[in-house]
Amino acid sequence: MLRKDFYKRPVLKVAPDLIGKYLVVSYGGKITAHMITEVEAYDGEGDLACHASKGKTKRTEVMFEEGGVWYVYLIYGIYEMLNVVTGNKDHPAAVLIRGIEGFDGPGKLTKALHIDRRFNNKKAAKESGLWIEDRGEVISKKDILKLPRIGVDFAGPIWSKKKWRFRLKSF
DNA sequence: ACGATGATGAAC
DNA sequence: TTCATCATCGTA
């Protein structure tokens, strides 16, 4: 299981490192695991696409925590978004889990794995029933595509053009 | 191309 | 208390 030291690094290092790791969920007495294939990084109050750019609020305060906790919120009134907080305390940053093996899309994977806001502000550890494991998959850096983030045009050209989306080449 | 659907944050 | 906005998806 990935521990706090893994998450307590700059989000732009954590995000590509999550590709090829396994998202593990314990639900109804069963444990299932899927390889992570696509993520996006959101970094700091200066990043206009990051929710924390509006400062610390009731919703975003979890992003100001130390890395290693979940940030789960509702978008468009319908879909739960799964993020894991990274970096040091008081530096708001998180990685959006955008795709896993078998479920391509952040709204679809949360629905498939029964992930919702009850995980918000919970530790990414077995005790919360949702965590991430390294199962020895070897991913070469050249097999990870760097792409612009999706759905963040509202943040303006500077931030929407940053290639902070990481995706496994074969997907 | 567009509507579903509700939490959020800011303005009043 | 009201209003505009939104890290999406399925149907068309």
pLDDT, tens digit, 9 for 90 and up, residues A108-140: 999 999 999 999 999 999 999 999 999 999 999
Q: Are A19 and A166 in contact (CB under 8 A)?
A: yes
Q: Are A109 and A84 in contact (CB under 8 A)?
A: no
Pure H helices in A90-155 = 106-112
Tens of pLDDT, residues A50-81: 999 999 999 999 999 999 999 999 999 999 99
Strand C contacts in A 44-73 (CB under 7 A): 49-51, 63, 71
- Residue A60's nearest nucleotide, by CA–C1', is B8
Is A77's CB less than 7 Å from nucleic acid strand C?
yes
For B5, nearest residue by CA–C1' is: A77
* Average pLDDT of the residues in A83-103: 97
C-alpha–C-alpha distance, residues A14 and A7, integer Å: 6
pTM, 2 dp: 0.95
CA of A70 to C1' of C1 (A): 32
pLDDT of the residue at A170: 76
Q: Are A143 and A170 in contact (CB under 8 A)?
A: yes
What's the one-letter identity of residue A134?
Answer: D
* pLDDT for residue A23 is more than 70: yes
- Residue A50's nearest nucleotide, by CA–C1', is C7
From the list A27, A29, A86, the residue with the least C-alpha distance to A52 is A86
Q: List the beta bridge partners of residue A148.
A: none
Q: Is A128 helix (H, G, I), strand (E, B) or coil?
A: helix
**Cβ–Cβ contacts within 10 Å for residue A115, how many?**
21
Q: List the beta bridge partners of residue A33.
A: A24
C-alpha–C-alpha distance, residues A137 and A141, integer Å: 13
